[in-house]
Amino acid sequence: MEHRTHELLGSVPGHISQLHSFHYGPQDSERSVYIQASLHADELPGMLVAFKLKQHMAELEAAGLLHARVCIVPIANPIGLTQQLMDVPLGRYELETLKNFNRHYADMTDAIADNLESALGEGEGDNTRIIRDRFLAALENKSPANALESLQLTLQRLACQADYVLDLHCDFNAVAHLYTTPAAWPTFEPLARYFGAHASMLATDSGGQSFDECFTLAWEQLRERFGTRFPIAYGTQSITLELRGQDDVDHELADHDSRAIVDWMTHLGMVHGEAPTLPPLPFPPTPLAAMEFLVAPHGGLLVFHAHPGDQVVCGQLVAEIIDPIEDSVHEVRATQDGMIYARSQRRMATAGMIVADLAGHESRRSGYLLAP
């Protein structure tokens, strides 16, 4: 194991943040996995899973059973982790810029594509190496303007050459679910099964240039530009695993989730051994464009009638918004058949706030598909 420390740009003199990465496996391995946790720093279940994974990887490496290079970043957001206000963690948005820590990562496609045609050849593996080298070089040539960009660029540099990128998040109150691309779904479906994903939502471009998509979109666009003339693989396949809700920092759950990742790696041959039989998938994959945010039509006391993991039909009552002054009750109902996979932790709703997330089957949205 190799422990690396990455110093980030300080926002003011005398203040320095550090990012820590842990590296396992043979240097000459043909495949590599990058895993990070708690990019939204108020989402902590992934940090415990990363802690467990570090132990798994150390044991596998010592036994000679690890056949891939693995990089684990257990605290992906040291900046957000320090953001506390009146005993409330505020790790989703960077307080200076008010930007979401998981949006607007650098798009390096044009920099990679510049004069790329002259470097590409007939070998898919060679082309993958060329593009990865250019990806890293383009990121290294980019200078951060502030602490947030320093964090984002450091994470991108660590992950840009990996075959597989796993970003560990959670929701507010939720069942296990995930986000990935249609192209990567065959690779990650076994992980969805081991993980027990109650919802698996697929989109090539969700519109936010999030961490996972800053890699997959680059490869997708390079394939569109050059793929008819040169063989170009999907050099990085990414997935966001949502480890239930913010309160689910639990040893038993973390043991399950870390084991699911190891079992998936074993299934793909990155860990020596026989992978367990694939369990059934709790709920079929659905388009992210079919996911709908159910919003509060009025402010008031939020009372739920549906729980995360409940399958609902169109028109079914999901929640009530009760105004105890006017004695009015406003209903929030399912807008289509599907799965309620996440809901708010708040119990006092404000007008227009997201009450629950519904994984539906009928695509009705386009453009920006993510929560703010």
Write the pLDDT tens digit of every residue in 235-251.
999 999 999 999 999 99
> What pLDDT, on the 0 to 100 scale, is given for residue 16?
86
Contact indicator for 341, 198 with CB cutoff of 8 Å:
yes
Q: Of 70, 76, 81, which is closest to residue 38 (Cα–Cα)?
A: 76
> What pLDDT, on the 0 to 100 scale, is given for residue 327?
97
> What pLDDT, on the 0 to 100 scale, is given for residue 15?
85
Q: Would you say residue 59 has pLDDT above 90? A: yes
Determine how many CB atoms are found less than 10 A away from the CB of residue 312.
21
CA dist 21 and 1 (Å) reads: 10
Spell out the residues 6+ positions from residue 90 whose beta carbon is closer than 8 angstroms to its own. Answer: 42, 80, 83, 84
Q: At what angle do helices 124-140 and 147-159 cross, to 10 degrees?
A: 160
> What pLDDT, on the 0 to 100 scale, is given for residue 110?
97
All structural domains of the chain, each given as residue ranges with its CATH number in brackets, are: 2-283 (3.40.630.10), 287-360 (2.40.50.100)
Residue 198, CB-side half-sphere exposure with 13 Å CA sphere: 19
Q: What is the DSSP letter of 106?
A: -
Extract the tokens encoding 321.
Answer: 């918004």
> Quick one: average pLDDT of 127-147?
97
Contact indicator for 341, 351 with CB cutoff of 8 Å:
no
Number of H helices, E strands in the chain: 8, 20
pLDDT tens-digit series, residues 142-177 = 999 999 999 999 999 999 999 999 999 999 999 999
